[in-house]
Amino acid sequence: MTRTASPTGGSGSSLRLSGGSGSTASGSGLNLSGGRSSRPTVAAPIRDAARLFAAPGFTDIRQMAHDAPIVRLNARQSGIGTLLIHGARSTAWEDIDLVTGAENVHGETAGVASPTAGNRKLVAFHNGSAAVTLRHVKRFRRAIFIAQNEPLVISLFGEAALAVAPTTPEGKGAVLYISRIGSLLELRAEYVDRADDPAIWAAFGFTMTTPTHVHTGR
């Protein structure tokens, strides 16, 4: 897997999937058999938001695409209400305890859910849309949202919606990558070769947690 990205967000970002089974299926393809028994080594999240390069805010652009791939939320937007992603076929997440799981729009799951103190899942599908519970954003580390053959639409309470173009001119499909940097959420539009969900999880470094390896710090 090769990843190229511009640190200024100007030239787009793409991932090339390689190796594996070579699947090109366009369906959700959740593997419900569980993941490996050990967790990958993952670098700690960036804590110093002051070192971040400049990026557009949520209301600065109307659509993310390969040539405009980055948006960063402010502290209020990152911590209040619910971040909704419409048009995703599936999502995979990782919390601060490195608990990783996935769910698709049909309700099929893999890995382990990340519950919060309010007994609400940190990331999950609700009424066909993926949702991130921002009240508990300090437990959130990162997540991906794999597009169907339509634009992803991101909505925040009190803000205009933001779209993500579903494909590039070369036919690669959109994956919205959201990570927490300090108290801020950063959104990136990544574009990958068409593949099933496990191949895309692997491209982004997600390995599904098995229940025997759950250690929460709530």
For 25, phi then psi, to 5°, come to -65, 145
Instruction: Note the pLDDT of residue 50.
Output: 59
d(CA 124, CA 167): 24
Low pLDDT (below 70) residues in the chain: 1-51, 213-218
Which residues have C-beta within 8 Å of that of residue 32, sequence separation ≥ 6? 108, 109, 110
Bridge partners of 133, per DSSP, are: 82
Tokens for 82? 């619910």
Q: Can you name the residues that pair with 179 across neighbouring β-strands?
A: 142, 186
- pTM for the full model? 0.77
Q: What is the largest CA-CA distance in the chain?
A: 44
Give the strand pairing for 70-72 and 184-192.
Answer: antiparallel
Task: Give, for 202, the enclosing helix (H) or strand (E).
Answer: helix 197-203
Report how far Cα 1 is from the mean position of its chain's Cα atoms.
Answer: 17
Dig out the tokens for 113 from the structure.
């859910």
**Is the alpha carbon torsion for 48, 52, 58, 64 positive or negative?**
negative
Report phi then psi at 53, rounded to 5.
-70, 160
**Residue 28, pLDDT score:** 44
Q: What is the pLDDT of residue 101?
A: 97
Q: List all residues 6 or more positions away from 208 whose beta carbon is below 8 Å from its beta carbon.
A: 31, 34, 35, 36, 100, 101, 102, 110, 111, 112, 201
What is the three-class DSSP state of 123? strand
Quote the pLDDT of residue 157.
Answer: 87
Distance CA 129, CA 108 (A): 14
Q: Provide the pLDDT for residue 72.
A: 96
Contacts of 5 (CB under 8 A, 6+ apart): 13, 69, 188
